[in-house]
A = this chain, B = another copy of it.
Amino acid sequence: MVTMLDVSRKAGVSTATVSRVINKPEIVDEKTRLTVQKAISTLDYRPNLFARGLAGRSSHTIGIAVNGFSSPYFGLVIDGMEQALARVGYKTIAESNRRGAEGEREAWLSLIERRCEGVIIHSANLSDEELKHLMQQHPSSVLINRLLPDFEHRCINLDNFHAAEIAAKHLIDNGHREIAVITGPKRNFEVKDRINGFNFTLNNAGLKLDKDLTIEADFSGLSGQEGLEKLLATGKKFTAVFFHNDEMAAGGMETCRKANIRIPEDISIIGFDDVAIAKHLTPKLTTVRQPLREIGATAGLLARAIANNPNDADHLPRTFQAEVVERASVARI
């Protein structure tokens, strides 16, 4: 392994100078700089990250902890982050949460251990209390999909209230009056916001949400399927249903197929997220798109800014707006 010492010898300077050439080229004389750079490239030298990290230089990497890499949702977030960060010379490292609060804490710490300058966390299981504690202890971490009191400027979120608003509006504009909804777990704050936004819009339009027509599910396809079955079982009339994610919407479509219910002729369906499957469903799913890549990108940039240059952080948005992607699962009636 070729070390900085090798380079310095080859270039006839001290290791300090080599280090400067690498980290602050502007402060070394042009001539020396050139010699050193030549030495670096002819020796094919690459700094040892561990030594660098130990010696205290910043690692130029931002970490992100998610639950499972195979989620289409987080895949996009990470991708967005990775690309934005790469553009400013930063590396991304992704870690997979083990399940539960313990797993989330573990992943977070592990990222810190890796000396990530910033860490971005999606936590569903840690309590506000503990989250606050960790946020305090690790000042350049940022949360996504969670709004932690007192740490709002370090949280990145979709404007779920608004997102549900436009979903409702889309349905109403298309003439729907009896609307059902299948929600995510109600303890999630984003679920609450969606419910509120949805209700708000319905109320404004002089409609109201029938309690029996809102079912709590758990974001899984199966729960969507069963949710719609329950809805059907009530015998109540409804012409449209709003699912809190696409996965559940796909499940819902499945029960329609089984029950011989036509979409959108008999029931209109609107989803949420716009993940890959949405456009492959039949009919193609009209859904509320989250700007996932953008959220990832901003989270990454924010973490970096907080770590290095807190002023920059102010310019970054903390909340994002969804938009509805009109496809073919909502009928005008």
> Residues of A with Cβ closer than 8 Å to B?
46-54, 68-72, 74-76, 78-79, 82, 86, 91-96, 98, 109-110, 113-115, 250, 276-277, 280-282
Contact = CB atoms under 8 A, between A and B. Distances in A.
A281 B280 CA distance: 6
Contact of A96 (B70, B92, B98, B110): B92
A79 B70 contact: yes
Nearest to A292: B70
A281 B53 CA distance: 48
A127 B252 CA distance: 47
Contacts of A277: 276-277, 280
Q: Which of A46, A250, A280 has the most CB of B within 10 A?
A: A280
Contacts of A47: 113
A114 B46 CA distance: 11
A71 B47 CA distance: 31
Contact of A51 (B54, B75, B94, B281): B54
Of all A-B residue pairs in the complex, the 6 with the closest CB atoms, nearest first, are A50-B53, A70-B75, A282-B282, A69-B78, A50-B54, A70-B79
Contacts of A95: 91-93
Nearest to A114: B49
B110 A91 contact: yes
Contact of A46 (B51, B53, B109, B282): B109
A47 B109 CA distance: 11
Contact of A54 (B48, B74, B79): B48
A114 B59 CA distance: 11
A71 B75 CA distance: 7
Given A54-B54, A79-B96, A48 B276 contact: no
Given A93-B95, A277-B280, A115 B78 contact: no
B82 A69 contact: yes
Contacts of A71: 75
